Amino acid sequence: MPSVNLFSPVKIGSIQLANRIFMAPLTRTRAGPSHLPNALMTEYYTQRASAGLIVSESSMVLSNTSAFMGEPGLYEPGQLTAWKAVTDAVHAKGSKIFSQIWHAGRAAHPDINGGAESVSASAIAIEGTTHTFTGKVPHAVPRALA
């Protein structure tokens, strides 16, 4: 098997990457009020922009579906604008960044989502506890969608 230089460029589909180093998504919980990306997040991703590709932390696609305090969103225009500052900074360093979008499902908890109930394929709670504004609490039983 021939060896490949990790630092050599690569094209994946239509995306040209400066190298073959990818940064996997890591939950940072640093978003500001209203789930807005902020300067700290811009700095964090820019510091890692020597990777050919960065996959961002999970970002909510709907309001009131957060699994973590400080989780960023991608469901309102202001959030898109705030993410643009992050992506522009990463692009300026020569890297690409993809967004990991998600719906937290049964991992969402009413205590960090304005009382909104979590939903899932079944009404089975995750075992253990989760962190909320008031401390650790048991995971909530979600409303089954089916």
Return the pLDDT at 25: 97
- Distance (Å, whole) CA 90 – CA 37: 14
Cβ–Cβ < 8 Å for 143, 106: no
Strands, DSSP E only, in 7-145? 10-12, 15-17, 22-23, 53-60, 96-102, 119-120, 129-132, 135-138, 143-144
* Residue in 83, 89, 90, 98 with CA at minimum distance from that of residue 31: 83
* Residue in 44, 41, 75, 43 with CA at minimum distance from that of residue 59: 75
Q: What is the mean pLDDT of residues 84-101?
A: 98
- Distance (Å, whole) CA 21 – CA 31: 25
Q: What is the mean pLDDT of residues 33-62?
A: 97
Return the pLDDT at 8: 98
Q: What is the mean pLDDT of residues 74-92?
A: 98
For residue 45, what pLDDT band results from cuts at 50, 70 and 90?
very high
The predicted model scores a pTM of 0.91
For strands 143-144 and 119-120, give the pairing.
Answer: parallel
Return the pLDDT at 30: 96
Domains contained in the chain, CATH given: 17-103 (3.30.750)
Return the pLDDT at 2: 86
Q: What is the mean pLDDT of residues 1-26?
A: 96
Cβ–Cβ < 8 Å for 74, 83: yes
pLDDT above 90 (res 108): yes
pLDDT digits 0-9 by tens, 58-72: 999 999 999 999 999
